[in-house]
């Protein structure tokens, strides 16, 4: 005989034994107690097998040297170690008709479908295809020994049969209790159940120490025994059918038949997964939870590993007894069988984080890269403060390739943009640009960016890096809704962009072959060669200094970057990362949509009414802004200054001890030697002095730096 190790003790098994049968052969319960169905329906035989918890030992064939441990008494097992989190192969397959279950009814259903000319795939646990989930789609998740399979199917027939009903009464967690089919399996394996008693609805309680030694019947009599077979009938094995209520699943055979509910439970553990008792259910019932779903959610009965396979008939009977109405079964959640984290994650990927064409340059320069707005971006190049001073006093490069960029063209483009944006568009001259915000229908700020006019019927729009991915949908959706003729092309991943910024930015461009006459003035944009590379140069400023965004084809990004770094070396050029940029723009009072704004921030709340022209006939959000303009509004974004180190972003802002808002942006300003911040006050009257981190902070007008905006125009 071969051996497995159960709780550190070698036990022998016969060929073909499951681990549960092997345990029973050694005189042990495979877990710690509870009715055994040996059909995979309940979790009463679950144990840790070779380090993986929640394995149903009745469904797991014994193999030499298998290490089995019972779950800890009274608590859940820890997840398996790293060795159990290895990658699991996933295969995606398609099928027309899938029949789950190859018993009599499944085989008949498959035969009938094939006779009608359908292509039919039959999945059955006995063949190693363990269906663990049914999802909308429809799709079916199947666990096999060699990995996970995702089936994309058109029609599902469920022929999973019926499960035997477990007893609910005092003592039902003892060892030595079997359903009739489980007892038959045990006896077929050659095990002697000794003095075995068979009971049905007359059962009242089990008695014994660790395992059953007496059965008490409703008439008060007691019967001594070694093991008990409990025959309470069966219930549909419908966990998979209850998983995706929107999926049209055809149920056949015993799984589709009506089964009488057992008598209402009076005492004992009703949900063996969560050890939830009838007394627990009485507690939630008395609190007023009377709907089956509410009883389930408030007691957690039915949310365990079997998803109601064991407790459902009793729970329905409990509710029917007390309410007088027999409730329908509740929804089940995947997985129908326990799966490992690796199995659950098979085939799923983390979000794609894109790289700019300058990724390699940043790496070479020693940048610390971080993930922002769906991109890898340089956080700093080792010294954010020196990067800051390069922008304020010299010249610096920033990789802004991640900005959203969109070409729009067409006979109706001006009309479309006038309706999209709250600012005027028609009067933007060719070669000029304008800052704009985007609003939704409720007047809340979605994003911001620039409009650059390229021709009478052609514009380039920019958006924030984080907003770029939804910008195209936003523009297309509105243009199609209005039925306007506008072509839209997202250029975000096709165009690189380098921001040349600082008081010496103009000098660097001069050294790169751009004459003073060709260099665009503030809010102008031009197509010119820079260092011999065709660029669309936009003059604007986010840092507060003179800035030129050089937009170009991505295959020339590295060449342009390297040329500018080389030409700028005598000027002390340094690249800057996001850490410095966030501080620079904060000193200038520029908000970052999504960081300084909230989902319901209106232009008024962020002090940007100036970017809204309510005199326009129509634009997205106009009606909402007009309606809310006359309403009192306590929320305002403020600038603050405070001594000492800058508080963490997200810090609470208090007035007289009461929370009134939080810090959205925070920076130790090298320029001023104190912290500059932005944050919300959401309660009137707005205070001039607030408390942050137990320190005093004073409201300060923004921008903190260069209030006249002269430096951006240098």
* Residue 103 CB, nearest approach to another protein (Å): 29
Interface residue with another protein, options 121, 493, 565, 652 (CB under 8 A): 493
Q: Coil, strand or helix: which one is 320?
A: helix
CA-nearest of 157, 125, 381 to 255 is: 157
Interface residue with another protein, options 111, 325, 489, 701 (CB under 8 A): 489
Interface residue with another protein, options 63, 426, 487, 527 (CB under 8 A): 487
Euclidean distance between CA atoms 50 and 480, whole angstroms: 58
Cβ atoms of residues 432 and 409 within 8 Å: no
* Residue 563 CB, nearest approach to another protein (Å): 18
**331 sits near another protein (criterion: CB under 8 A):** no
Task: Work out the burial of residue 298: count CB atoms within 10 Å of its CB; fewer than 13 is exposed, 13-18 middle, 19 or more buried.
Answer: middle
Cβ atoms of residues 390 and 396 within 8 Å: yes
**713 sits near another protein (criterion: CB under 8 A):** no
Euclidean distance between CA atoms 268 and 123, whole angstroms: 36
Interface residue with another protein, options 63, 76, 152, 222 (CB under 8 A): 152
Interface residue with another protein, options 63, 92, 118, 222 (CB under 8 A): 92
Segment near another protein (CB under 8 A); pick from 30-38, 257-265, 351-359, 567-575: 351-359
**407 vs 652, which CB is nearer to another protein?**
407
Interface residue with another protein, options 9, 78, 89, 224 (CB under 8 A): 89
**149 vs 545, which CB is nearer to another protein?**
149
**527 sits near another protein (criterion: CB under 8 A):** no
**342 sits near another protein (criterion: CB under 8 A):** no
Interface residue with another protein, options 457, 607, 641, 700 (CB under 8 A): 457
Long-range contacts of the stretch 709-713 (C-beta < 8 A, 24+): 711/503, 711/541, 711/544, 711/545, 711/546, 712/522, 712/540, 712/541, 712/544, 712/545, 712/546, 712/547, 713/521, 713/522, 713/546
Q: Coil, strand or helix: which one is 539?
A: strand
Cβ atoms of residues 29 and 42 within 8 Å: no
Angle, in degrees to the nearest 10, between helices 384-393 and 578-587: 50
**470 sits near another protein (criterion: CB under 8 A):** no
CA-CA-CA-CA torsion sign (315, 316, 317, 321): positive
Interface residue with another protein, options 214, 300, 353, 370 (CB under 8 A): 353
- Within 443-541, where are the H helices? 468-482, 505-511
Helix H or strand E encompassing 109: helix 104-115
Tokens of 172: 């039902």
Q: Phi and psi (nearest 5°) for 196?
A: -105, 135
* Residue 41 CB, nearest approach to another protein (Å): 30
**410 sits near another protein (criterion: CB under 8 A):** yes
**588 sits near another protein (criterion: CB under 8 A):** no
**401 vs 579, which CB is nearer to another protein?**
401
**76 vs 152, which CB is nearer to another protein?**
152
**221 sits near another protein (criterion: CB under 8 A):** no
Cβ atoms of residues 629 and 422 within 8 Å: no
Binding residues among 255-294 for another protein as defined by CB under 8 A: none
Look-up of token digits 């499960």? 163
Segment near another protein (CB under 8 A); pick from 5-13, 201-209, 248-256, 549-557: 549-557
* Residue 222 CB, nearest approach to another protein (Å): 58
Interface residue with another protein, options 347, 503, 572, 594 (CB under 8 A): 347
Segment near another protein (CB under 8 A); pick from 31-39, 229-237, 346-354, 655-663: 346-354
Euclidean distance between CA atoms 557 and 361, whole angstroms: 10
Q: Is the peptide bond before 421 cis (omega within 30 degrees of 0)?
A: no
**361 vs 691, which CB is nearer to another protein?**
361
Euclidean distance between CA atoms 107 and 122, whole angstroms: 8
103-135 burial, b at 16+ Cβ within 10 Å, e below that, comes to: eebbbebbeebeeeeeebbbbbbeeebbbbbbe
* Residue 352 CB, nearest approach to another protein (Å): 5
- Within 462-577, where are the H helices? 468-482, 505-511, 557-568
As a residue count, the chain comes to 714
Segment near another protein (CB under 8 A); pick from 37-45, 403-411, 415-423, 596-604: 403-411
Number of residues that bind another protein (CB under 8 A): 37
**90 vs 191, which CB is nearer to another protein?**
90
**217 sits near another protein (criterion: CB under 8 A):** no
- The count of C-alpha atoms lying within 13 angstroms of the C-alpha of 455, restricted to the half-sphere facing its C-beta, is 9
Residues in touch with another protein (CB under 8 A)? 89-94, 150, 152, 347-357, 375, 407, 409-411, 457-458, 485, 487-489, 491, 493-495, 553-555
């Amino acid at each position: 005989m071969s051996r497995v190790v159960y709780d550190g003790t070698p036990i022998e098994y016969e060929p073909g034994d499951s681990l549960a049968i092997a345990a029973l052969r050694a005189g042990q319960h495979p877990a710690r107690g509870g009715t055994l169905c040996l059909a995979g329906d309940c979790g009463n035989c679950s144990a840790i097998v070779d380090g993986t918890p929640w394995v149903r030992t009745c469904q797991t064939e014994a193999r030499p040297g298998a290490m089995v441990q019972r779950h800890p008494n009274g608590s859940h097992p820890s997840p398996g170690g790293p060795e159990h989190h290895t990658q699991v192969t996933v295969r995606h397959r398609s099928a027309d008709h899938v029949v789950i279950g190859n018993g009599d009814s499944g085989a008949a259903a498959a035969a009938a479908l094939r006779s009608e000319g359908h292509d039919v795939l039959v999945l059955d646990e006995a063949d190693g295809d363990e269906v663990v989930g049914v999802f909308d789609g429809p799709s079916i998740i199947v666990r096999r020994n060699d990995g996970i399979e995702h089936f994309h199917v058109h029609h599902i027939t469920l022929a999973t049969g019926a499960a035997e009903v477990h007893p609910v009464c005092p003592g039902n967690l003892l060892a030595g209790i079997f359903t009739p089919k489980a007892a038959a399996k045990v006896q077929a394996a050659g095990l002697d159940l000794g003095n075995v008693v068979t009971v049905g609805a007359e059962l009242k309680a089990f008695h014994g120490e660790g395992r059953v030694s007496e059965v008490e019947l409703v008439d008060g009599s007691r019967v001594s025994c070694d093991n008990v077979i409990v025959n309470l009938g069966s219930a549909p094995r419908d966990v998979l059918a209850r998983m995706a209520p929107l999926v049209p699943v055809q149920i056949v055979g015993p799984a589709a038949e009506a089964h009488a509910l057992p008598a209402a439970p009076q005492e004992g553990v009703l949900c063996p997964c969560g050890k939830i008792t009838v007394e627990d259910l009485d507690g939630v019932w008395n609190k007023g939870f009377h709907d089956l779903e509410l009883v389930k959610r408030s007691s957690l009965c039915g949310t365990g590993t079997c998803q109601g396979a064991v407790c459902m008939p009793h729970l329905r009977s409990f509710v029917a007894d007390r309410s007088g109405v027999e409730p329908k079964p509740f929804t089940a959640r995947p997985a129908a069988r326990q799966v490992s984290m690796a199995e659950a994650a098979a085939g799923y990927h983390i979000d794609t984080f894109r790289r700019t064409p300058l990724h390699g340059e940043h790496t070479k320069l020693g940048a610390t890269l971080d993930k922002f707005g769906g991109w890898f971006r340089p956080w700093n190049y080792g010294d954010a403060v020196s990067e800051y001073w390069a922008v304020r006093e010299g010249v610096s490069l920033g990789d802004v390739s991640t900005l959203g960029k969109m070409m729009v063209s067409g006979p109706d483009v001006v009309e479309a943009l006038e309706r999209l944006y709250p600012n005027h568009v028609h009067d933007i001259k060719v070669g000029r640009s304008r800052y704009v915000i985007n609003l939704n229908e409720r007047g809340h700020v979605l994003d911001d960016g620039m409009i650059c006019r390229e021709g009478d019927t052609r514009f380039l729009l920019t958006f924030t890096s984080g907003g770029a991915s939804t910008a195209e949908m936003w523009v297309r959706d509105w243009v199609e809704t209005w039925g306007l003729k506008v072509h839209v092309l997202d250029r975000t991943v096709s165009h690189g962009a380098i921001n040349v910024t600082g008081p010496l930015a103009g000098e660097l461009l001069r050294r790169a072959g751009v004459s003073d006459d060709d260099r665009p003035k503030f809010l102008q944009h031009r197509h010119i060669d820079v260092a011999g590379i065709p660029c669309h140069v936009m003059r604007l400023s986010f840092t507060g200094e003179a800035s030129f965004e050089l937009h170009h084809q991505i295959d020339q990004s590295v060449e342009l970057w390297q040329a500018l770094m080389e030409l700028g070396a005598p000027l002390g050029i340094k690249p800057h990362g996001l850490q410095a940029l966030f501080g620079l723009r904060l000193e200038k009072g520029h908000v970052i949509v999504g960081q300084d704004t909230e989902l319901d921030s209106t232009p008024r709340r962020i002090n940007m009414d100036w970017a809204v022209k309510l005199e326009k006939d129509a634009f997205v959000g106009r009606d909402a802004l007009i309606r809310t303009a006359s309403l009192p509004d306590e929320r305002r974004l403020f600038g603050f200054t405070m001594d000492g180190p800058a508080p963490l972003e997200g810090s609470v802002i208090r007035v007289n001890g009461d929370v009134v808002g939080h810090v959205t942006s925070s920076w130790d300003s090298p320029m001023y030697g104190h912290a500059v911040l932005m944050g919300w006050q959401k309660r009137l009257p707005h205070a001039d002095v607030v408390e942050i981190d137990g320190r005093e902070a004073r409201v300060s007008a923004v921008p903190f730096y260069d209030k006249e905006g002269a430096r951006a125009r240098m």
